[in-house]
Chain A
Amino acid sequence: MIRRYLFLLGMAVGIGLGLAYAWVIDPVKLTESSPANTIGTYKRVWLIMAAEAYAQDGDWDRTRDRIDSLRDPNLNQTIVALFDESLNQGQNSAARALARLADRLDIHTAGMLVYLATPIVTPETEPLPVLTPSPTVAFSPLPTPAPTLKAALTSTPTPLLATTYQVIRREPICRAESITPQIQVTIQDMIGRALPGKEVWITWEGGADRFVTGLKPEIDPGYGDFDMALDQTYNVSIDKPTSIIVAGLHADVCTDGRLSWRLVIRPNSP
């Protein structure tokens, strides 16, 4: 009887020692991780890359495998949070791509709708070379449980839209000193309908910022605003910072406080 207890005691101590060695002293080395096991910051990078790649080639099967590889049980919330983060950081490309990915997953927020409602405008387009026209598109297989990957290289052309704009109303508004002066921009189409999702650039000497119209639909779906600093003079452009259509806006002193500026902008007639 005593021998049995001694045997069990020895074995219990041995198991403890064995586990301590295997878990603490010499644990299994991880040399082949998967995206699901990586740090949270890289998972977000992975998701943005997957979204932008999807926006680039439209290959949903491959994109699905890429996002499934993260094994995120709260994927919808992650995408929404990442979209909001991109939006707040002014990363419009990422935000637009995430909005498109979210749309494919049937996730919608007001901010995403703004991006989905507008066409992609890129400052330049580079034609892709076709050196060796190949009848079949050969993708490398995706790692792990990768179902058959379709080669859907359907990159949507993004033509250069050379729309020019005109200011149809430029109105100074005198607001109390306690209220931050603003540049308030409303963009409309040629017949006066609000245009959400337009990128408005505010530039000044040594700096630039931008916003997208439509994020305050309670004011106007084509509206966006920018808080002015008192010592700066601002220019306003649409789509790209170089196409200035209003210059020299300054928060001048007025009777009640400081001037804000209200602008209504429309495309020029073709």
Chain B
Amino acid sequence: MRKLFVVLIGLVIGIGLGLFAGWGLIPVNYTETSPAVLRQDWKDEAVWMAAQAFAYDHDLEAATNRLSPLGSNDVGRLALDRAERAIDQQWAAPQITSLARLAAALGARSARVDPYLTP
């Protein structure tokens, strides 16, 4: 009986150590993740880059392909949300324009963002 108790104590301590190591010290290392699980600030950066790239190459298909992996079903809405947050964050007008034009090209517009579309 005592021997069984000793084994159980060892087992419980071992499980605890195993969980601590597996979750904390050496967790599963993800290397090939989907862009959909990018941290939000990286997603924001990706949308901003896509807007800048669209201003550069005017390639709507490329812009769509660049935004689609970010996990949104509506890439136009994604760009529009970024534009509205850029307004909230008081970005410079030309930068908001880049985002607004991308959103509009993708079919997403709003009353807040529309004034930035036209010179």
A71 CB to nearest chain B CB (Å): 11
**Which partner residue on chain B sits nearest A7 by CB separation?**
B10
A residues with a Cβ closer than 8 A to B are: 2-3, 6-23, 27-28, 30-35, 37-40, 42, 45-46, 48-50, 52-53, 55-57, 66, 69, 93-94, 97, 127-134, 137-140, 142-144, 151, 153, 155
Q: A15-B17, A15-B21, A93-B56 are in contact. Are A49 and B50 (CB under 8 A)?
A: yes
Interface residues of A: mostly helix, strand, loop or mixed? helix
**Which partner residue on chain A sits nearest B82 by CB separation?**
A140
**Which partner residue on chain A sits nearest B51 by CB separation?**
A53
Q: How far is the CA of A138 from the CA of B14 in the complex (A)?
A: 53
Tell which of A19, A53, A131 touches B21, judged by Cβ atoms closer than 8 Å.
Answer: A19
The answer on a CB contact under 8 Å between B30 and A129 is: no
The answer on a CB contact under 8 Å between B18 and A15 is: yes
Interface digits, B45-61 against A, CB 8 Å rule (1 contact, 0 not)?
11011101101110100
Interface size class of B (residues with CB under 8 A): 35 or more
For B97, list chain A residues within 8 Å (CB).
128-129
- How many A-B pairs have beta carbons closer than 8 Å: the answer is 212
The answer on a CB contact under 8 Å between B27 and A22 is: yes
Tell which of B18, B30, B40, B56 touches A37, judged by Cβ atoms closer than 8 Å.
Answer: B30
Q: How far is the CA of A151 from the CA of B41 in the complex (A)?
A: 18
Q: How far is the CA of A249 from the CA of B57 in the complex (A)?
A: 31
Q: How far is the CA of A134 from the CA of B86 in the complex (A)?
A: 14
The answer on a CB contact under 8 Å between A10 and B28 is: no
| Subset of 19 A-B contacts with CB under 8 Å | A6-B3, A7-B6, A9-B7, A10-B11, A11-B14, A14-B10, A14-B14, A15-B17, A22-B27, A32-B37, A33-B39, A35-B38, A38-B38, A39-B32, A50-B49, A130-B119, A131-B93, A143-B41, A151-B92
* Other A-B pairs, 11, CB within 8 Å; known A8-B10, A140-B48: A10-B13, A14-B11, A52-B57, A53-B52, A94-B57, A129-B116, A129-B119, A130-B94, A130-B119, A131-B115, A137-B91
Tell which of B7, B15, B91 touches A7, judged by Cβ atoms closer than 8 Å.
Answer: B7
**Which partner residue on chain B sits nearest A55 by CB separation?**
B56
B116 CB to nearest chain A CB (Å): 6
For B14, list chain A residues within 8 Å (CB).
10-18
**Which partner residue on chain A sits nearest B3 by CB separation?**
A6
A169 CB to nearest chain B CB (Å): 34
Tell which of B11, B15, B37, B46 touches A46, judged by Cβ atoms closer than 8 Å.
Answer: B46
Tell which of B2, B33, B86, B118 touches A129, judged by Cβ atoms closer than 8 Å.
Answer: B118
A2 CB to nearest chain B CB (Å): 7
